[in-house]
Chain A
Amino acid sequence: MSAQAPASRAIDVRDLHKSFGDHEVLKGIDFHVDTAEVVCVIGPSGSGKSTLLRCANMLERPTSGTVLVEGIDMTDPETDLDEVRSRIGMVFQQFNLFPHLTVLRNLTLAQQRAKGRGRAEAEQCARDNLDKVGLADREGAYPAQLSGGQQQRVAIARALSMEPDMMMFDEPTSALDPELVGDVLAVMRQLANEGMTMMVVTHEMGFAREVGDKLVFMDDGVIVEEGDPRAVLSNPQHERTQAFLSKVL
């Protein structure tokens, strides 16, 4: 099969279509993220950004097309999805922390259940990552006792605790009060500097401009324009990109 991707390709999506009923949400997407690259995805509400992200780790099953993660065909029924997913950290707009578990347990649960780590090793890794997001002192708290910004940093630390090869963010700061956005972006910035492969759906144009290696503009289920973030943001080629940017900038 010609779908064998170069090893440097973390995510490789080809001719991806996704319909909900007779509503076609993704209309043939070709998209890739290279290793150590930060790709930001922008676009109006309902354009299919989340659906593309969710198809990449099969939370949503594509209607047709191929999704390769590190060369592994995710649409192949033989693929061990759980194993591949454990290599893709995912951060949601609504945090989705486990409310019945402490912060520490949020971080150790999947390490033990999915990676087969022992408790001591899992806690060590969890504490390292809590430290990294600046929340080492909150390991005993429950999610409801934290601010939104803290919860999202815990969610990032939870994903990092699986020691993933790449991270996917779906509007990680959209549910936060403005004054809490900075802390979360700072953590993401640090990750990018460390060379993490990242796919980020965001409305934070500043982040996309400064941190992104590539910017992708989606509208109505297709990729309209992509390229260097600075170039796309300051000199959009496409009429739809111009119209969108004039509204958000």
Chain B
Amino acid sequence: MKRSTRRRLGEGALYGLLGAVVVALAVAADWPEIQENFLNGDVLRSLWPEIVTVAAKNTVVYTVIAFAGGLALALVLALMKLSPVAPYRWLATVYIEFFRGLPALVVILAMGFAIPIAFQWRPPGGSIGAGVLALIIVSAAYIAETLRAGIQAVPVGQVEAARSLGMSGAWTTVSVVLPQALRIVIPPLTNEFVLLIKDTSLLFVLGMAIDEQELTTFSRDALTTNANSSPLLAVAVLYLIITLPLTRLVAYLERRSMVRVR
């Protein structure tokens, strides 16, 4: 048998297998049952409009707050990590390694339950405040590493040019290094943002008032009240509506920066 014939046969077998699985699933699946459970019109209609005006809105609000806070904290950590003062570097390293090594859920539980019990101190904003604070703390650790890499990717000649003009180290960082570093880190930062959107779903462990619910908590509530899985599907679609444009944007930005670097 010629090699090309054999390859074509092999490919054909793979397509055949795929076809067989699809057919088997279609035959075996109980379509009315699936529709009743996942695409139940009455249940879906009952979610409207709160699923968007409350749940999706809260998901976005929590993400934006956590991201903004995380970015600010991360900038401090990244500059500490690049500091000539060794103790600053150690502190930043310990922070970053510590919180990157823990599951976000553990930090959320610690902020929501352990710390208030241990120290009689409640983060502002109730349990949601505690959860968002936990997300700030965790995301800062990841974003700090991204920012550090971005700052180090700025050619050293840029710093030398600025310093040789008489600019101070601080002004050089602010006016020359950071603007260029931010451009470099926009694609990875968008990725962090997408991860954070999904991480807000972890906040459900803290429990929250109706008007505080984000998408996952909202869907779990609707799931139990209706004893029906349709809310899960609706929420999945909403997550994708939020995240897909962003992941496509990252792909686009990465392609573009690749072209620019040549």
Contacts and interface: CB of A to CB of B under 8 A. Distances in A.
Interface of A: 57, 59, 82-83, 85-88, 90, 92, 94, 96-100, 109-110, 113-115, 155, 158-159, 162
Interface in B136-175: 155, 157-158, 160-168, 171, 175
Contacts of A92: 157, 160-161
Given A94-B157, A96-B158, A98-B161, A109 B175 contact: yes
A57 B179 CA distance: 26
A57 B176 CA distance: 20
A155 B166 CA distance: 15
A96 B165 contact: no
B163 A59 contact: yes
Contacts of A90: 161, 164-165
B63 to A, nearest CB: 28
A114 B172 CA distance: 10
Contact of A114 (B160, B161, B166, B183): B166
A159 B171 CA distance: 17
Task: Enumerate the 5 nearest inter-chain pairs by beta-carbon distance, A residue then B residue, closest first.
Answer: A86-B166, A110-B165, A96-B161, A90-B164, A114-B166
Contacts of A114: 165-168, 171
Interface of B: 155, 157-158, 160-168, 171, 175-176, 179-180, 183
A155 B163 CA distance: 14
Contacts of B160: 59, 92, 96
A59 B172 CA distance: 14
A159 B165 contact: yes
A115 B166 contact: yes
Given A100-B183, A109-B175, A113-B175, A59 B168 contact: no
B166 A85 contact: yes
Contacts of B171: 113-114
Contacts of A94: 157
Contacts of A83: 166
A49 to B, nearest CB: 16
A82 B168 contact: yes
B256 to A, nearest CB: 14
Contacts of A158: 165
Nearest to A94: B157
Contacts of A86: 165-166
A82 B180 contact: no
Given A82-B167, A113-B167, 14 more contacts: A82-B163, A82-B168, A85-B165, A96-B157, A97-B161, A98-B162, A100-B180, A109-B175, A109-B176, A110-B162, A110-B166, A114-B167, A158-B165, A159-B165
Contacts of A155: 161
A207 B164 CA distance: 24
| Residue picked from B155, B163, B166, B171, most chain A C-beta under 10 Å | B166
